[in-house]
Amino acid sequence: MIADGSIALPRPTQPGSFTALMHLYESNYLRLHWLLDDLVAPPAAGCSRTKSDLPLHLECLEVSAYTTTLRLTYFFEEQGARVADPDLTVRVYHDAGLAEAMACRRDHLHHALKDFDTAPGEELSRRWVRNNMLNKWLEYCYDHGHRFYGGLRRAVGAP
């Protein structure tokens, strides 16, 4: 057996590190693809209804050549007003196969979501927490049968 001491073996990534965050973005992309049959041209808007969960709302905010920006949320009635919670803005990077939770509602209704805000602070840590939440929520939504079909089905830049 020939051994080479100069070969660096892969090290496990540390949770909360930049490398782990990129792995999380990859996982978010795959899980988001479970819910949407077409990430490049998703529906302009939609609502997925299941017997075991609240209606899940999807809105396509922007489509460009390499990215798509989506909004995923549930809606609640709070003192006569319609309130979105959690209210996630997700950017999908098609060429890299990544999905990033870019923003999250700051004043959550549910106490378990209070820590997932986008206030200034340690950015890497905030991105880690926000995207971990997206990752778990996407799996939860899939497990409860949420799906979105059909899409814009248009070329980028078409009228």
Region of poorest pLDDT, from 4-13, 30-39, 48-57, 124-133 = 4-13
Region of poorest pLDDT, from 62-66, 70-74, 111-115 = 111-115
Q: Tell me how far apart the alpha carbons of residues 157 and 159 are, in angstroms, rounded to a whole number.
A: 6
pLDDT beyond 50 at 1: no
Q: What confidence category does residue 3 fall into, taking pLDDT thresholds of 50, 70 and 90? A: low
Q: What confidence category does residue 37 fall into, taking pLDDT thresholds of 50, 70 and 90? A: confident
Label residues 31-42 b or e (16+ Cβ within 10 Å = b).
bbbebbeebbbb
Predicted local distance difference test score (pLDDT) of residue 8 = 58
Residues with Cβ within 8 Å of 144's Cβ and at least 6 positions away in sequence, in order, are 50, 52, 53
Predicted local distance difference test score (pLDDT) of residue 15 = 75
Q: What confidence category does residue 39 fall into, taking pLDDT thresholds of 50, 70 and 90? A: confident
Predicted local distance difference test score (pLDDT) of residue 142 = 96
pLDDT beyond 90 at 5: no
pLDDT beyond 70 at 115: no
pLDDT beyond 60 at 150: yes
Provide the residue type at 147 as one letter. R
Q: Please give the average per-residue pLDDT across 74-94, as a whole number.
A: 90
Region of poorest pLDDT, from 28-37, 42-51, 123-132 = 123-132
